[in-house]
Structure 1
Amino acid sequence: MASFVEIDRYNLIPLSLSSLCACPCLPMSNKIIILNQRRYSKFNLRIVFDGSKTMFRVRQSGVSCDRRFVAAVVRTKPDRLDEDDAKEELDKGNNLPVIEDSISERQEKASQLKKRIVFGLGIGISSGGIVLAGGWVFTLAFAAVVFVGAREYFELVRSRGITAGMTPPPRYVSRVCSVICALMPILTLYFGQIDVSVTSAAFIVAMALLLQRGNPRFAQLSSTMFGLFYCGYLPCFWVKLRCGLAAPALNTRIGSAWPIFLGGQAHWTVGLVATLISISSIIAADTFAFLGGKAFGRTQLTSISPKKTWEGTIVGLGGCIATSIALSRIFCWPTSLLSAIAFGFLNFVGSIFGDLTESMIKRDAGVKDSGSLIPGHGGILDRVDSYIFTGALAYSFVKTFLPLYGI
């Protein structure tokens, strides 16, 4: 394989034609090198080699060649043209990495979008089946999600970004709190309420922190108590909403056609309908807010999440309320239009502030995602942050403000 070497910008040394070649076996002719009378201060010399041995050598006294010499070409150009070509070649070389990076970036974004769609559909279908099943199926699956979310939260608390300004709780306390958070939904389903269990768990954890070796810090207590509240207590309201509101939704037409072996009409309770409307409204809020922000977003909503805009938030609110009204007409619950609008508004408020709360935690932790469990989506907290506060608001609204649960 021939090797090519370019020698650039050598000053031209006037030589006689007879001194160009000292090799008697291959005399040089006037046609090999042709130079114009115009002087060129610089020229490029391309030398062709055979294998790894030099076939053309430049010496101080002249030019000599071997028997294996193949060809030597002197290419001269004016100084301006040489500089222009060098600049053009340099620009071409610099543009190649940019083009390659742009192509790889587009491919990576397409791959990420594909992952998000595939896993998003999988999560949506499986979650819908779990919500329809209800009971222990819903509660155990929910407890598993709460456990993973609690682990992610305490890992965020222990990250460098947050620990730079505080002392994190010991690792064994974080693990115990994650288990306690996972047990809270189960205790909620079994006992019907969670107040005593949460109070007892908080007291035990506080004692463990205060009696630990070393110097206990308030930051440890505050981050742990908030973890129990944020990852354990608040999610339990979804269990109370789905499984605790067992009053039948009598006006729901889907319930009358529901198969008997799947529970019949009695399976369609106020809790099931309220849960489906609430989850669907949150999904609509996130989707419409994203699309509205892409299309009309100009004014930043808050510095906590720079990508969120007021325009996207307004579009998301409209989509959330519209979804709540549409589903209330389909399920015939709640029967009042004003109640459906208020229910959609509460779902949106809970979702937006849940999202901002998790964004604040991640910002202080200095990370983009809470984890990497779900390809293309990040961690569990990244997917359920909009639902953490919403369950409590939805349950309180149906239980307290809707007469006869909106039937």
Structure 2
Amino acid sequence: MASHLEPNRCNLIPLSLTSLCACQCRPSPKTLIFVRPSAMRNLRLKSNGSVGLVPSGRDRRCGFRTPGGGVFTAVASTNPDRLDEEEVTEEALESGHQSVDMEKLVLERQQGGSQLKKRVIFGLLIGICVGGVVLAGGWVFTVAVATAVFIGAREYFRLVRSQGIAMGMTPPPRYVSRVCSLICALMPIFTLYFGHMGVSVTLSAFVVAIALILQRGNPRFAQLSSAIFGLFYCGYLPCFWVKLRCALAVPALNTNIGTRWPVFLGGQAHWTVGLVATLISFSSIIAADTFAYLGGKTFGRTPLTNISPKKTLEGAFAGLSGCIAITLLLSKIFCWPASLVSASAFGVLNFVGSLFGDLIESMIKRDAGVKDSGSLIPGHGGLLDRVDSYVFTGALAYAYVKTMLPLFGV
């Protein structure tokens, strides 16, 4: 009985030839014949005393003699239908690749649209909640700041312990990171209760230094520096928002909104300089981020810095313009600050604080090798990604209102 072999999956056929081909081709000994799988679909190897390749359908034959006297007959199909099928298949593959690329492009655009939709929805919800917390002030505002500080500190120490940063330095132990996060959360409460932060920050730094020195193993300076910076960045700086909102309790007498504010909500005395300054500062930061994003998307051409490649000079200029415009608008509504120059300077200061706060957090994430500090807020990443523009701005705004505005006669 004849045995059949269908080499449909063969890409390479080695033949040891000692004689000339029966057709016009003249292969040399030990010739390697490369065959596409599509050209081998109609070949069968038949052995019944004499060895040969027997085709099916319309074909061309090419025979070779072997040393033992057998004959190999190579058959290549010339069926035009088969060739047409192969051509159609290649065209279909090309069109298939193009359709896959188009589907990927459409999918990416849909994902980008849904991501932008999430950002807008959650951004509005966060803005409404933050506005209510700022208006409430007192313990409500302080507890909200303390909660945000604790979450931000946990994200910061996770970044410090990430592989990208840990490869170049020794991160602090986990228990030290947790203690620092708890201390950062207590700092705003101490600020509201005591009115100052010097003693609490000094005591906290001393406790963290002792804990690192007494740990087992070999303490490293990198552990101390990253932990102390965490206390400063995540704990000390946000406390200035508590000082700005709650400590500046002087009534904003020129603010007309205070005269119409309900008595059961505090009346006109509720509208203090601290409340007005905090509302203007928060609004100007939001305007700076929004205008910078839109301006960079529309006109962005010149990179601002290597730390954050997506930021551009055009976007920064748009953010600065939007920040100053919103500050001037709100200063007219609240009648504070009184002069145009002082309001413009306040807007510039808020923009500088928000920009460099964002860049510093981007630098930390770049070294950590991550895109976002977390995934707490859909469409925005971690909490630290959302509040990085506020970290330094609170201290700058408080120093401006407390020290610089009296120079303008406010």
| TM-score between both structures, scaled by the size of structure 1 | 0.81
Instruction: State the Cα deviation string for residues 77-98 of structure 1 (Å, max 9, x = none).
Output: 485x555423212202322332
1:76 corresponds to which residue?
Answer: 80
CA distance in 2, matches of 1:298, 1:192: 46
Specify which of 385, 396, 399 is matched with residue 396 of structure 1: 399
Q: Which amino acid aligns with 1:313?
A: A
Q: Which amino acid aligns with 1:76?
A: P
CA distance in 1, matches of 2:382, 2:38: 56
Counterparts of 1:161-172 in structure 2, within 5 Å, are 161-172=164-175
CA distance in 2, matches of 1:183, 1:122: 26
Counterparts of 1:2-401 in structure 2, within 5 Å, are 9=39, 10=41, 76-77=80-81, 81=84, 84-401=87-404
1:102, CA displacement in angstroms? 2.2
CA distance in 1, matches of 2:219, 2:377: 36
2:49 corresponds to which residue?
Answer: none
Q: Is there any run of 5+ residues in structure 2 with no aligned partner, and where?
A: 1-36, 45-56, 62-72
Q: Which amino acid aligns with 1:354?
A: G
Q: Which amino acid aligns with 1:203?
A: F
* Cα pair 2:285 2:350 within 8 Å, conserved: yes
Instruction: State the Cα deviation string for residues 288-319 of structure 1 (Å, max 9, x = none).
Output: 11111111111100000000001110111111
CA distance in 1, matches of 2:178, 2:396: 28
Comparing 116-125 with 298-307, greater Cα deviation is found at 116-125
Instruction: State the Cα deviation string for residues 360-399 of structure 1 (Å, max 9, x = none).
Output: 0000000000000111110010000000000000000000
* 1:41–1:239 Cα change, 3 Å: farther
CA distance in 2, matches of 1:176, 1:78: 74
CA distance in 1, matches of 2:136, 2:126: 15
* Cα pair 1:280 1:323 within 8 Å, conserved: yes
CA distance in 1, matches of 2:408, 2:263: 24
CA distance in 2, matches of 1:301, 1:8: 54
Q: Which amino acid aligns with 1:361?
A: I
CA distance in 2, matches of 1:308, 1:189: 36
CA distance in 2, matches of 1:41, 1:275: 88
Q: Which amino acid aligns with 1:159?
A: S
Q: Which amino acid aligns with 1:168?
A: P
CA distance in 1, matches of 2:188, 2:43: 87
* 1:12–1:306 Cα change, 3 Å: closer
CA distance in 1, matches of 2:239, 2:391: 9
2:10 corresponds to which residue?
Answer: none
Which secondary structure state, in structure 1, belongs to the residue aligned with residue 304 of structure 2?
strand
1:278, CA displacement in angstroms? 0.4
Q: Which amino acid aligns with 2:236?
A: Y
Instruction: State the Cα deviation string for residues 95-114 of structure 1 (Å, max 9, x = none).
Output: 23323322322222222122
Which secondary structure state, in structure 1, belongs to the residue aligned with residue 311 of structure 2?
strand
Q: How many residues align?
A: 348
Q: Percent identity?
A: 71
Q: Which amino acid aligns with 2:142?
A: T
* 1:214–1:12 Cα change, 3 Å: closer
CA distance in 2, matches of 1:302, 1:171: 33
1:20 corresponds to which residue?
Answer: none
CA distance in 1, matches of 2:165, 2:108: 31
* Cα pair 1:12 1:40 within 8 Å, conserved: no
1:119, CA displacement in angstroms? 1.1
* 1:88–1:362 Cα change, 3 Å: same
1:211, CA displacement in angstroms? 1.4
* 1:83–1:340 Cα change, 3 Å: same
Instruction: State the Cα deviation string for residues 203-262 of structure 1 (Å, max 9, x = none).
Output: 110111111111000000000000000000000000000001000000001011100000
* Cα pair 1:11 1:41 within 8 Å, conserved: no
Q: Is there any run of 5+ residues in structure 1 with no aligned partner, and where?
A: 1-6, 14-34, 43-59, 61-73
Instruction: State the Cα deviation string for residues 52-96 of structure 1 (Å, max 9, x = none).
Output: xxxxxxxx9xxxxxxxxxxxxx973485x5554232122023223
Q: Which amino acid aligns with 1:336?
A: S
Root-mean-square deviation (CA), in Å? 2.3
| TM-score between both structures, scaled by the size of structure 2 | 0.81
